[in-house]
Amino acid sequence: MSLDTVLLAQTTPEREQPFAELGLKADEYQRIREILKRRPTSSELAMYSVMWSEHCSYKSSKVHLKQFGEKAPPSDALLVGIGENAGVVDVGQGYAVTFKIESHNHPSFVEPYQGAATGVGGIVRDILTMGARPIAVMDPLRFGPADAPDTRRVLPGIVAGIGGYGNCLGLPNIGGEIVFDETYAGNPLVNALCVGVMRHEQIKLAKASGAGNLVVLFGAKTGGDGIGGVSVLASETFGSHTPTKRPSVQVGDPFTEKVLIECSLEIFEEDLVVGIQDLGGAGLSCATSELASAGTGGMKISLDDVPLRDPSLSPEEILMSESQERMCAIVEPSKLKRFLEICKKWGMSRSQSSVK
């Protein structure tokens, strides 16, 4: 296999790259070349394309969202505010609740059952990432007119996906909304909320600090699902030897998520992590970048060590894969042995790299 390495990128500046197909504008591509002082490798291009997408960077809505932080009245009850995976509110007697709501509209429109199910899975991992035990979910839904054929196509699957995934985790769905309106025809809104509870001292943050600490990926193995647009890079690089294309919508396994929850809570209980982040949209690219940027330095990650469901995945695809039920933890070397023992006990696959 010929990898698109940094060396190759330096010596082949003229190689055309499919930045437009990846959703980057010409000026954004130029900016990447300026930052790197060369053309990006395929992997770098994949990471930039996804990290600079609206989905990950909120580039157009950032200006509005910022106001939540700026205009919020100061409060002692807010233990963790904007910028982390979820907010945390003090509820007294040493306890705190954390909750977050997130949309999963497009995936649910494309594949109603899996789209809605993984929407629940993602929000539950966000709550888990804060160090809390998830205890309940809620789902406000918006559909087109009740008698529209497209509503009939998506509604049963969305409802079943939400129920099926939550039930398997033992999380009661404690409420929600359903609205039918012309506005939502062809664009149903599927929002998933999760609430979790913890003690104050159990709060965890998504931050990679401490040079020499280890970055451990644990949970489900990484496969070719949810790769979406990045496959244009893989097909460029590897010609016909590329893995079978999977749907761009992720596929959930609530059983693995339940095991991941218990595994993570046991790891938290023994205080074995410095920082932790779940893998959601843009997979490893997003999780590792966010952990590193919130921390004190960078990190070195070895994609060769990522446990794969499909060994033919290219580096770009491993970086982008949205395989569900995965977490990334920052672990001190002295605690690694115990951390891996707990992963092994729960049957979670794991790999390790290092914080620089």
Partner 1 sequence: MKVGVVTFPGSLDDRDAARAVRAVGGEAISLWHADPDLHGADAVILPGGFSYGDYLRCGAISRFSPVMTEIISQAKAGMPLLGICNGFQILCESHLLPGALTRNHELHFLCRDQKLVIENNSTLWTSDFQIGDEITIPLKNGEGSYQCDDTTLAVLESEGLIVARYLGENPNGSRDAIAGITNAQGNIVGLMPHPEHAIDTLTGPSADGLPFFTSILNRLVKA
Buried-state track 293-323, b at ≥16 Cβ within 10 A, e below 16: ebbeeebebebeebebebeebbbbbbbbbbb
Q: Which of 139, 236, 253, 278 binds partner 1 (CB under 8 A)?
A: 253
Q: Which of 346, 350, 351, 353 binds partner 1 (CB under 8 A)?
A: 346
> What are the tokens at 62?
């950032």
Report the residue number, 117 or 286, with the smaller CB distance to partner 1.
117
Which among 162-170, 238-246, 324-332, 335-343 is the span making contact with partner 1, rule CB under 8 A?
A: 162-170
Report the residue number, 101 or 259, with the smaller CB distance to partner 1.
259
**Cβ neighbours for 196, distance < 8 A, ≥ 6 positions apart:** 86, 97, 98, 99, 127, 128, 130, 132, 133, 134, 135
CA angle (174 as vertex; 170, 178 as ends), nearest 5: 120
Answer yes or no whether residue 163 interacts with partner 1 by CB under 8 A.
yes
Q: How far is the CB of 259 from partner 1 (least distance, A)?
A: 5
Q: How far is the CB of 246 from partner 1 (least distance, A)?
A: 20
Report the residue number, 24 or 124, with the smaller CB distance to partner 1.
124
Annotated active-site residue 55? The verdict is yes
For the chain, give percent helix, strand, coil, nearest 5. 45, 20, 35
List beta partners, residue 143: 180
> Quick one: three-class SS letters along 125-151?
HHHHHCCCEEEEEEEEEEECCCCCHHH
Q: How far is the CB of 325 from partner 1 (least distance, A)?
A: 12
Q: How far is the CB of 333 from partner 1 (least distance, A)?
A: 27
> What are the tokens at 93?
């007697």
Q: How far is the CB of 7 from partner 1 (least distance, A)?
A: 45
Q: Which of 168, 274, 282, 329 binds partner 1 (CB under 8 A)?
A: 168
| Under 8 Å between Cβ of 277 and 330 | no
Q: How far is the CB of 169 from partner 1 (least distance, A)?
A: 8
Q: How far apart are CA 355 and CA 338, in angstroms?
A: 19
Answer yes or no whether residue 172 interacts with partner 1 by CB under 8 A.
yes
Q: How far is the CB of 221 from partner 1 (least distance, A)?
A: 15
Report the residue number, 254 or 315, with the smaller CB distance to partner 1.
254
Residue 86 has what DSSP assignment?
A: S
Q: How far apart are CA 274 and CA 297, in angstroms?
A: 14
Report the residue number, 17 or 324, with the smaller CB distance to partner 1.
324
| Under 8 Å between Cβ of 214 and 330 | yes
Q: Which of 254, 275, 280, 315 binds partner 1 (CB under 8 A)?
A: 254
Of 64, 104, 106, 200, the active-site residue reads 104
Sheet with 189-199, side-by-side order of all strands: 78-80, 87-92, 95-103, 189-199, 133-143, 173-180
Answer yes or no whether residue 347 interacts with partner 1 by CB under 8 A.
yes
Which among 168-176, 230-238, 294-302, 322-330 is the span making contact with partner 1, rule CB under 8 A?
A: 168-176
Q: Which of 117, 132, 154, 169 binds partner 1 (CB under 8 A)?
A: 169
Q: Is 286 helix (H, G, I), strand (E, B) or coil?
A: helix
Q: Which of 258, 299, 324, 331 binds partner 1 (CB under 8 A)?
A: 258
Report the residue number, 69 or 156, with the smaller CB distance to partner 1.
156
Answer yes or no whether residue 136 interacts with partner 1 by CB under 8 A.
no
Give the interface with partner 1 as residue ranges (CB under 8 A).
163-164, 167-170, 172, 253-256, 258-259, 345-347
Which residues are marked as active site?
55, 104
